[in-house]
Amino acid sequence: MATEPRRRRLEHSAPDRAGSISLLAFFFLTCVTQAQLVATFTREAATDSRLDRFPALSIPPGEPATPFLTPGAFQVVWQGKLVIPRRQRLTFSCEGEGNAVLKIDGKEILTTETDLAAKISESTRLNPGEHDFELHYTSKPDGSAAFRLFWEEASFTRQTIPPAAFKAEATAATTLGALQRRGRTLFASQNCAKCHNPGTSLGSSPMPETAEIAPILFGSGDRTSEAWLRRWIADPRALKPGTNMPSLVDATTDEGRQHASDLAAYVASLKMGTPPGTAPDPALAQEGGAHFHELGCVACHNAPDKGLTDSTRVPLNNVASKYLPGALAAFLLHPDANHPFTKMPDFRFSAAEANSIAAYLTKFSNGQETKPAHEFPAGDAARGAKLAESLQCGVCHPGMPMSPQSAPAALDVIFKQDWSAAGCVASADKRGKAPRLNLDDNDRAALIAFAKTGSASLTRDSQAEYATRQIDALRCTACHAIDGHESSLTSVHAETESLVAHLPKFNDRIDQSRPQLTFIGEMLHTSAIESMLAGTADPRPRPWLGMKMPAFKSRANQLANSLSRLHGLAPNKPAAVKVDPAMAEIGAKLVSAEGFGCTTCHGIGEAKPTAVFEAQGINFKLIPARLREDYFHRWMDNPKAITPGTKMPLYSEDNKSPRTDILDGDAKKQFDAIWQYLHQP
């Protein structure tokens, strides 16, 4: 029987495999800082440049190659360096449709047309170091595109080139492209197109962020204190440094403070008649603090008793003064109830969990609130309602009053103006009476650069770029590593370790590593990604993790599709696998204690793992709905090349399996047998 020691012997029975590990795991272990390529897109006479993590495209008909180009036939050239740690003989191939030419060190390595998978390159010897990399791709005539690039060697299976194998220096064109993209994102996130109405819609497939709305304020009086509302309206940045809420009043003046009080009184009067809640029980605070640490909340938030120690994280020192009794627990249970596009995800807490976390946050933020610089007069709700109308609050907050007669200039008008000379984007001395947006000088430069491109890019989008923007906007790398870079949680989690000091066995649990994002779009079926983002994955793939994958329900479908396309793959669902019963029987033997001992760490349906030691694996019953076949073979060939710290053993050395008595020791055939076993009815 293949017990845990047997499993370890299988791992160490193969040689060190220095060649493939030095080539692949090297890229993650050395953490190349500029893991990207310069991508230059050309459509008719127009060009656009950006930095890409890797060369891949999946663009449906009617979608542009980038938001700054019109839809239709295009060309793209990726340029940079291919970093090779040791001498290798590599074979390159493509997948997709269109035309592609690959050059390395100026030499044409591969040229392929129409069906890009029809040809592979000759084996090419590359010495250690950096090699000039140039890849030309031409779309289909209708502008649709499908492209992926692969390499392989005797020591590892065919696979996409890891992002960290690429290296490029930013050019003037990519720097400008990044500035314009930053400005475009700011324009959408600041809801500029809602104030500056386009007159008609932005088209059938606009930049998705332009459709997002600010929080719904009806019912605010049932959940939010008037005192907090005054402080928030007076100076949003003081309470939340990264907020998109503009400063609509000048709280340094008597008039401004009166306006803040009147607006707060009006918003506090917006009640739905929700019965008053119950204040969280302080006795639950210790339990809630343990949840706070275990969930890694400190990756996105400062601890509630710390105030504004880190402006990149959302402070929690004001929650006790913000929420009325019971409202904080209700928010934790349904964070998107009043704001469908909130960045705060849904952890699908139980009522007990929500109450305990609310107790912790309330207890430790009590008395820690950000103090206003001035005293406020009493507010008048009627005056506040008129003021809200004159300030056009309804353009961002659905249902709030707004006056069509006082609407700002239309979209087409402002794109003909100099944004640095006057208005919201201008410096303080030129802004006039325009709202004070939460912008720094870099933000202003980005918006001004975007303004020069015109408004057309708001009417279209690239799904791959949407995925990249959302990874940033939703702070996915706060919890997940990517391209060899650790998550930010890794460096800050120790800040809240004291919250679990009373739990003596807390650190004795099995491995709590979270999956990385590097290959997420080529790893999982789109439907599996969507179920994770929507919070509908049942059962949880990793139920042993104390940290939960939260839900981003309003973005789940679009982001899942976009993550697939980012990796050059069309959105998909699992397809039926034709199972050879004889191969499936061999696969069953290989996963059992007689073979590789996979069932030591992996359950199969209701059957539990037999002897979990340091790490647990995902239940094999879930694999068909989750994993793409190419990724499965890549993982089985060399898991540590994908995730260097994984506890998954190595069962292949130059395609030679330690089980030489099965399928002639051919690892690829053995892994295919396991794949078929996993997919048998």
Q: What is the mean pLDDT of residues 618-624?
A: 97
Q: Are the CB atoms for 319 and 304 separated by under 8 Å?
A: yes
Confidence of residue 100 (pLDDT cuts 50, 70, 90): very high
First to last CA, the chain: 26
Helix, coil or strand: residue 366 = coil
Question: What domains are there in the chain, each with its CATH number?
Answer: 4-22+575-678 (1.10.760), 32-169 (3.90.182.10), 177-213+398-459 (no CATH), 220-386 (1.10.760), 463-566 (no CATH)
Q: How far is CA 531 from CA 156, 336, 526, 572, in A?
A: 31, 17, 9, 13
Residues 284 and 277 sit within 8 Å (Cβ to Cβ): no
pLDDT score of 22:
38
Tally of CA atoms within 13 A in the half-sphere of 176 that contains its CB: 12
User: pLDDT tens, 148-194?
Assistant: 999 999 888 999 999 999 999 999 999 999 999 999 999 999 999 99
Counting residues of the chain whose pLDDT is more than 70, the rounded percentage is 95
**For the residues of 46-98, what is the DSSP string, one character each?**
EEEEEEESS-EEEE-TT--SSTTS-SS--EEEEEEEEEESS-EEEEEEEEEEE
Listed in sequence order, the residues at least 6 apart from 650 whose beta carbon sits closer than 8 Å to its beta carbon are 11, 14, 17, 638, 639, 640
Give Cα separations from 453 to 48, 203, 414, 498 (angstroms). 11, 18, 12, 51
Across the range 409-430, mean pLDDT stands at 93
Query: Does the structure show a pLDDT above 80 at 1?
Result: no
Residue 7: pLDDT over 70: no
What Rg do the C-alpha atoms of the chain give, in angstroms?
28
- Give the Cα separation of 325 and 172 in Å (integer): 54
pLDDT tens digits along 284-302: 999 999 999 999 999 999 9
Provide the token pair at 645. Answer: 């710290």
Contact 39, 52 (CB under 8 A): yes
Q: Let me know: does 1 contact 593? Beta carbons within 8 Å.
A: yes
What span, in angstroms and rounded, lies between the C-alpha atoms of 132 and 61?
32
Q: How far apart are CA 85 and CA 95, in angstroms?
A: 26
27 close to 484: Cβ distance less than 8 angstroms: yes
- Parallel, antiparallel or unpaired: strands 46-52 and 156-160: unpaired
Q: Strand 145-153 to strand 156-160: parallel, antiparallel, or no bridges (unpaired)? A: antiparallel
Q: What angle do CA 297, 303, 305 make, to 5 degrees?
A: 155
Residue 5 pLDDT > 50: no
User: Would the pLDDT of 401 be above 90?
Assistant: yes
Residue 19 has pLDDT above 50, yes or no: no
The answer to whether 653 touches 20, Cβ cutoff 8 Å, is no
pLDDT of residue 568: 98
pLDDT at residue 398 tops 90: yes
* β-bridge pairing 75-84 and 166-167: antiparallel
pLDDT in tens, 480-523: 999 999 999 999 999 999 999 999 989 888 889 999 999 999 99
Note the pLDDT of residue 23.
43
How confident is the model at residue 28, as a pLDDT? Answer: 38
From residue 227, give the alpha-carbon distance in Å to each of 20, 272, 322, 379.
Answer: 62, 19, 8, 10
Gap between the Cα atoms of 147 and 45, Å rounded? 23
The mean pLDDT of 419-445, rounded to a whole number, is 93
The neighbour count for residue 145, using CB atoms within 10 Å, is 25
Reported as a pLDDT band with limits 50, 70 and 90, residue 4 is very low
Displacement of CA 669 from its chain's centroid (Å): 35
pLDDT of the residue at 407: 81
**24 pLDDT above the threshold of 70:** no
Which three-class secondary structure state does DSSP give residue 364? helix
| Other residues' Cβ atoms within 10 Å of the Cβ of residue 103 | 17
And the tokens for 140?
A: 């289909």
| Residue 34 pLDDT | 53
C-beta separation of 176 from 95 below 8 A? no
Q: What are phi and psi of 157, to 5 degrees?
A: -75, 160
Give the per-residue pLDDT at 408: 87
